[in-house]
Structure 1
Amino acid sequence: MGTATLEKNDSAGPVDSAENSASHLITVTLRIRRFNPEVSDEPQWQDFTLEIDPKERVLDALHKIKWEIDGTLTFRRSCAHGICGSDAMRINGRNRLACKTLIKDIGPDKPITVEAIKGLTVLKDLVVDMDPFFQAYRDVMPFLITSGNEPTRERYQSAEDRERFDDTTKCILCAACTSSCPVFWNDGQYFGPAAIVNAHRFIFDSRDEAGEQRLEILNDKDGVWRCRTTFNCTDACPRGIEVTKAIQEVKRALITRRF
């Protein structure tokens, strides 16, 4: 009897486990703004209904749709851990990383809207043309510039000097801040918050010698003075960078020439 009971329990275990797992699933609807230039010039909203664990992420839901329902759904993603920044999109009207947004945190009892970030040309579905964004990033020279010969040892820096620009080293170039900016929506020539943040990271680096040059770049008509301090960028940053503060510090450095 003992052996029979054990065998019965063993065989029932996986079934119970599957039932318990299924009991955690909820039915959600993702309302995705689709765009395919080969089919139509106008985007259209499409609903997808699926069962998913509420503790899973929006990225998991998108994967489920692409792998099991509609393989034509197009979006970017890579690391799926909030580091690569490639899956930034508008979820329920806010810029977020799909891999960091849990289903349970965004009102799954109503349709969850998913669309491409604003201000950049949509190529297909949730994929936008990132070239203008990365061009602005390159334009601010986001690398250490020093004079003289290559060093034979590391360039020393105090903890205090390092802390001065610590916040802006966290940028993952997801474009969530830039594509949340109303100025950028209306004028794609504006450098945008992300480029200014990455300029800040080197302007205030005590080892760098090109601060003045970067400030002159940002003093341009499409530079830092276009910022209207709406705080959208700070709210949108998935890394918690105080973007608006960094922009104000660059403005102050332009006025005082102290950095």
Structure 2
Amino acid sequence: MSTPTLEKKSDGPARSEDATPYITVTFRLRRFNPEELEEAYWEDFTIEIDPKERVLDALHKIKWEEDGTLTFRRSCAHGICGSDAMRINGRNRLACKTLIKDINPEKPITVEAIKGLTVLKDLVVDMEPFFQAYRDVMPFLVTNGNEPTRERFQSAEDRERFDDTTKCILCAACTSSCPVFWNDGQYFGPAAIVNAHRFIFDSRDEAGEQRLEILNDRDGVWRCRTTFNCTDACPRGIEVTKAIQEVKRALITRRF
């Protein structure tokens, strides 16, 4: 007697062996090489890529397979180091956090260097003015008296006061989105003010007044025009404009 066999029902139509997640995307990159041309120019690269990949992956593909001279910064590739900030479709973003599918891949995707800082080559800018402003606001804990024999205690409430501004990764996305900074690179910029805020409102720090005087300069906090570009550009979700307003209020009231 033969053993009956059961036919397995199909869960749906058979998938085509030719199915692929890849699509054709054109990337329009702003190129600049001072050793070859004095002016920047746009160059298109059309590649096949999974739309769930990131813009950084596309830049890698272009550099490794199309044009090895393409120059850009990146390090951790996970939104922590902040080194790959650039203008993507006219907005400051981190290339490692921007998915291709989220920025309309049916049209050419434009990628260019962030604004307000001197372009050295392609997507790489001179970050020294940005970091100098950061250093100028004394981004470190300052205390007086003898070194303590145990840790400096701080309540959860005091820590919460400046929690938001501890998230800054110094990517310069906020500062290079600021119209005031575009027009005058002497302005400290949002990132420097955010990092000053982080220590001004730290209950353990004793240099708040000194930092406020630094930011009271003509190129300091009063140059902010509250356009909210910086808050919109921050990849970490920091309420940058709010932090700047709190520093302004501290300058007026001397309470922090």
Which TM-score band (shorter chain)?
over 0.9
* Aligned twin of 2:187: 190
Structure 1 portions without partners, runs of 5+: 1-15
* Aligned twin of 1:241: 238
Corresponding position: 1:39 with 2:36: yes
* Aligned twin of 1:144: 141
* Aligned twin of 1:202: 199
CA distance in 2, matches of 1:69, 1:75: 15
User: How far is 1:17 from its partner?
Assistant: 10
Match of 1:49 among 46, 50, 61: 46
Identity among equivalent pairs (%): 90
Corresponding position: 1:219 with 2:193: no
Secondary structure of 1:99's aligned partner: coil
Structure 2 portions without partners, runs of 5+: 1-14
* Aligned twin of 1:74: 71
Match of 2:248 among 248, 251, 257: 251
Scaled by the length of structure 2, the TM-score of the pair is: 0.93
Corresponding position: 1:173 with 2:167: no
CA distance in 2, matches of 1:229, 1:41: 35
Q: How do residues 20-169 of structure 1 correspond to structure 2 at under 5 angstroms?
A: 20=19, 23-169=20-166
Cα shift readout 1:221-254 (whole Å, capped 9, x = no counterpart): 0000000000000000000000000000000000
Cα shift readout 1:15-48 (whole Å, capped 9, x = no counterpart): x99844xx10000000000000001110000000
Cα shift readout 1:77-97 (whole Å, capped 9, x = no counterpart): 000000000000000000000
Count residues with an aligned counterpart. Answer: 242
Cα shift readout 1:104-140 (whole Å, capped 9, x = no counterpart): 0000000000000000000000000000000000000
Q: In structure 2, what residue type is equivalent to 1:73?
A: L
Which one has a larger percent helix, Structure 1 or Structure 2?
1
Q: In structure 2, what residue type is equivalent to 1:175?
A: A
Scaled by the length of structure 1, the TM-score of the pair is: 0.92
Secondary structure of 2:182's aligned partner: helix
CA distance in 1, matches of 2:185, 2:141: 27
